[in-house]
């Protein structure tokens, strides 16, 4: 079936905004500017402030949800699933996981390359599968177990590529290893978030945009308040600011004032996460969850290619092998092999109706897939 112009637009929007989200965060890290009080020039390494910006972008999804609801009120759809009343505090535990996982990933992004960052996020499949068996009583198919094993193998290959790659003064080998481990650790927290969402949130049939926006609200408020104690907590080698503290928001604002392009990178990060969530949800509704997964994998290729073109990282052949193995693991876990096998055997491809979602209906996919 040929895609419509609107479907092509949604697919392109998801691919572009998803790529911008990671690249803009990495771009901000590459800027060097003086801070407050005439301090020497230093890199813009403010992961927790960047995480606050990301949650601000997620929070804006609430505006998109209410705009869609107003539009639906003028053109009621009797076939749409009704929205059930729910307690917004249900989103607090997943939001805390989202906040912790996102903050750790931004810290890790300062230490490793953008492509490795994107590839290693595939570890979420491993922990989500294991936690769904342990806490949701789910039984995984053989293909899903094979997908988990393939993902583990892919992570090993990507990690090995990082070990063998040339490292500059900005990213020492010890920092790269620490960054890679932090990304994998963050995926454990993201997996807990997904399990909590499925166990306590999905049964209330909350629209994904409303869910993302509510979690963004909690994350934005809580992490903004935490910036105050972070200003005084010493962080040693994990600190990227002259004061050596966990986060120095004042230093970040001074750097932005002296280098306006940092503000452009932060704005790209904030706006892209909102459009990415909207586009991802719409792609699942208009096309399928499988298409969304394929586009997310293409996003890794775009980020990798642009990082190489911009000279942010050096090419290593093992990364290609690692990416292909991770791609195979993701495809197996998400059942992408089934329609391919069906076409090869000249049978009918499995129906994708269960993968579709209404724009004002519920969702069975991860509420926030762009942290």
For residues 356 and 83, is the Cβ–Cβ distance under 8 A? no
What is d(CA 356, CA 117) in angstroms, rounded to the nearest whole number? Answer: 29
Rounded distance between C-alpha atoms, residue 354 and residue 364, angstroms: 9
Are 254 and 327 in contact by the 8 Å Cβ rule? The answer is no
pLDDT given at position 55:
95
Q: pLDDT for 42-94, tens place per residue?
A: 999 999 999 999 999 999 999 888 888 888 878 766 545 556 677 888 889 99
| Per-residue tokens: 353 | 């109706």
Q: Could you give the CA distance from residue 266 to residue 137 in angstroms, rounded to a whole number?
A: 41
Please give the full DSSP string across 275-341, using - where no structure is assigned: HHHHHHHHHHHHT-HHHHHHHHHHHHHHHHHHHHHTTSS---HHHHHHHHHHHHHHHHHTTTHHHHH
Report whether 111 contacts 170 (CB < 8 A).
Answer: no
What is the pTM assigned to this prediction?
0.84
In this predicted structure, what is the pLDDT of residue 355? Answer: 43
Give the pLDDT score at 232. Answer: 95
Q: What is the dihedral of CA 200, 203, 206, 208, to 10 degrees?
A: 80
The pLDDT tens digits for 295-344 are: 888 888 899 999 989 888 888 889 899 999 999 998 888 887 777 677 77
- Give the pLDDT means over successive 10-residue stretches in the chain (371 positions): 81 92 92 85 93 94 88 68 73 93 93 90 91 89 93 93 72 85 94 86 78 92 96 88 92 93 94 88 75 82 90 87 92 78 62 41 46 48
pLDDT at 157: 94
Spatial separation of the C-alpha atoms in residues 128 and 126, rounded to whole Å: 6
pLDDT at 311: 86
Averaged pLDDT score across all residues of the chain: 84
Q: Which of 94, 90, 91, 58 is nearest to 193 (CA)?
A: 94
Residue the block writes with tokens 């049978």: 347
Residue 362 has what pLDDT? 35
Q: State the CB neighbour count (10 A cutoff) for residue 370.
A: 24
Look at residues 126, 151, 150 and name the one whose alpha carbon lies nearest to residue 140.
126
The tokens for 250 are: 């004042």
Considering only CA atoms, give the Rg of the chain: 21
- Whole-number pLDDT of residue 81: 55
| Residue 73: predicted pLDDT | 79
303, with CB counted inside 10 A (0-12, 13-18, 19+), is buried
- pLDDT of 357: 40
Q: What is the pLDDT of residue 359?
A: 35
- Alpha helices, DSSP H only, in the chain? 5-30, 47-59, 61-74, 92-109, 114-120, 124-136, 142-164, 173-196, 208-230, 249-258, 260-286, 289-309, 317-333, 337-344
Model pLDDT, residue 358? 37
- pLDDT, residue 168, reads 59
Q: Which phi and psi (to 5°) does residue 366 adopt?
A: -60, 135
| Torsion over CA: 341, 344, 345, 350 (sign) | positive
């Amino acid at each position: 079936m040929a895609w419509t112009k609107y479907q092509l637009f949604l697919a392109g929007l998801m691919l572009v905004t998803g790529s911008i989200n990671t690249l803009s965060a990495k771009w901000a890290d590459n800027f060097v500017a003086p801070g407050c009080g005439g301090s020497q020039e230093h890199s813009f390494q403010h992961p927790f402030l960047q995480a606050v910006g990301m949650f601000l972008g997620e929070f804006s999804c609430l505006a998109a949800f209410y705009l869609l609801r107003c539009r639906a009120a003028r053109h009621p759809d009797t076939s749409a699933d009704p929205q059930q009343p729910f307690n917004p505090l249900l989103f607090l535990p997943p939001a805390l996981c989202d906040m912790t996982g996102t903050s750790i990933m931004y810290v890790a992004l300062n230490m490793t390359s953008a492509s490795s960052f994107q590839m290693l996020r595939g570890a979420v499949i491993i922990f989500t599968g294991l936690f769904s068996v342990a806490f949701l009583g789910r039984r995984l198919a053989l293909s899903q177990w094979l997908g988990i094993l393939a993902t583990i193998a892919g992570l090993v290959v990507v990690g090995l590529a990082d070990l063998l790659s040339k490292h500059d003064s900005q990213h020492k080998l010890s920092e790269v290893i620490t960054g890679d481990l932090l990304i994998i650790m963050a995926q454990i927290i993201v997996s807990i978030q997904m399990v909590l969402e499925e166990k306590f949130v999905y049964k209330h049939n909350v629209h994904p945009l409303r869910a993302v926006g509510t979690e963004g609200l909690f994350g934005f408020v809580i992490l903004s308040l935490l910036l105050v104690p972070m200003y005084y907590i010493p962080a040693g080698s994990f600190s990227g600011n002259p004061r050596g503290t966990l986060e120095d928001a004042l230093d970040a604002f001074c750097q932005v004032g002296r280098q306006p392009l940092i503000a452009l990178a932060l704005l790209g990060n904030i706006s892209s996460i909102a459009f990415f969530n909207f586009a991802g949800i719409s792609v699942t509704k208009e096309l399928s969850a499988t298409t969304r997964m394929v586009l997310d994998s293409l996003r890794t290729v775009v980020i990798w290619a642009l990082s190489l073109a911009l000279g942010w990282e050096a090419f290593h052949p093992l990364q290609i092998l690692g990416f292909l193995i991770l791609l195979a693991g993701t495809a197996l876990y998400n059942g992408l092999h089934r329609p391919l096998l069906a076409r090869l055997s000249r049978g009918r491809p499995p129906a994708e109706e269960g993968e579709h979602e209404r724009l004002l209906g519920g969702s069975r996919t991860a509420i926030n897939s762009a942290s």
